[in-house]
Amino acid sequence: MLQGENIVCFAKDWTEDPTSNNHVMKMLARDNRVLWMNSISTRAPSLTSSRDLGKIVTKLKGFARGPIRVEGQLDIYTPI
């Protein structure tokens, strides 16, 4: 297994339903530094959709907060 490496993971948002990506990155973060990059928008949001507006607010808050450590050496970052 890898040890002492810097790993960048581009994936869906960390707070969505966990997938194998989440589990593998948690495991790798035991012996490596892992930066999980939350996804960026892939379509234009609808400003009349409350769901889209909620996601915009969540993304802006995550970006303003900067990287957060969730466990071990696993940090989550939300770009805009």
Q: In the chain, which residues have pLDDT < 70? A: none
What is the pairing mode between strands 33-37 and 74-77? Answer: parallel
- Rounded Cα–Cα distance for residues 27 and 66 (Å): 23
Q: Could you state, in order of their start, the residue ranges of all structural domains in the chain?
A: 6-77
Helix intervals (H) in the chain: 20-28, 50-65
What one-character DSSP code corresponds to residue 48? T
Question: Whole-model pTM?
Answer: 0.84
For the stretch 16-28, pLDDT in tens is 898 999 999 999 9
